[in-house]
Amino acid sequence: MENKKEMRNWLNEFNLTHPFVIAGPCSAETEEQVLKIAHELKDSDVSVFRAGIWKPRTRPGGFEGVGEIGLKWLKKAKEQTGLLMGTEVANAAHVKLALEYDIDVLWIGARTTVNPFAMQEIADALAGTKKIVLVKNPVNPDLSLWLGGVERLYNAGIEKLGVIHRGFSTYEKTKYRNIPEWQIAIELQNKFPDLPLIIDPSHITGDRNMILEVTQEALDLNYDGMIIETHYDPDNAWSDAAQQVTPTALKQIFIDLKVRKVDDMSDEFTQKMKKLRTNIDILDENLLDLLGKRMKVADEIGQVKKDANVAVLQNNRWNEILGKMILEGEKKGLTEEFVLKMFKAIHQESIGHQEKVLNA
Residue 225 in contact with ligand PEP, rule: CB under 6 A: no
Residue 26 in contact with ligand PEP, rule: CB under 6 A: yes
Residue 94 in contact with ligand PEP, rule: CB under 6 A: no
Task: Supply the Cα-derived Rg of the chain in whole angstroms.
Answer: 24
From 24, 70, 86, 109, residue interacting with ligand PEP (rule: CB under 6 A): 109
Q: Note the helical H segments in the chain.
A: 6-12, 31-41, 68-81, 92-100, 110-113, 116-126, 143-155, 182-191, 201-205, 211-220, 247-256, 267-308, 315-331, 336-358
Shortest approach of ligand PEP to residue 339 CB, angstroms?
A: 31
* Nearer Cβ to ligand PEP (227/312): 227
Could you count the other beta carbons within 10 Å of the beta carbon of residue 285?
Answer: 10
Distance, in Å, from the CA atom of 347 to the CA atom of 115, rounded to the nearest integer, reads: 34
- Stretch of 107-115, 149-157, 168-176, 317-325 contacting ligand PEP, by CB under 6 A: 107-115
Q: Which string of x and - marks every residue 52-71 that binds ligand PEP (by CB under 6 A)?
A: x---x---------------
Beta bridge partners of 107: 88, 134
Q: Which string of x and - marks every residue 222-251 that binds Mn ion (by CB under 5 A)?
A: ------------------x-----------
Distance, in Å, from the CA atom of 143 to the CA atom of 163, rounded to the nearest integer, reads: 12
* Nearer Cβ to Mn ion (26/198): 26
- Backbone CA torsion sign across 344, 345, 348, 354: negative
Shortest approach of ligand PEP to residue 15 CB, angstroms?
A: 26
C-alpha distances out from residue 66 to 27, 41, 51, 52, 358, Å: 8, 22, 11, 9, 62
Residue 203 in contact with ligand PEP, rule: CB under 6 A: yes
Residue 90 in contact with Mn ion, rule: CB under 5 A: no
Residue 26 in contact with Mn ion, rule: CB under 5 A: yes
Shortest approach of ligand PEP to residue 106 CB, angstroms?
A: 12
Are 223 and 197 in contact by the 8 Å Cβ rule? The answer is yes
Q: Where in 131-150 is the site for ligand PEP (CB under 6 A)?
A: 136
- Stretch of 106-114, 146-154, 306-314, 340-348 contacting ligand PEP, by CB under 6 A: 106-114
From 8, 152, 166, 177, residue interacting with ligand PEP (rule: CB under 6 A): 166
Distance, in Å, from the CA atom of 58 to the CA atom of 139, rounded to the nearest integer, reads: 12
Residue 192 burial (CB < 10 Å; 0-12/13-18/19+)?
Answer: buried
Which residues bind to ligand PEP, rule: CB under 6 A?
A: 26, 52, 56, 88, 109-111, 136, 166, 203
Which residues bind to Mn ion, rule: CB under 5 A?
A: 26, 240
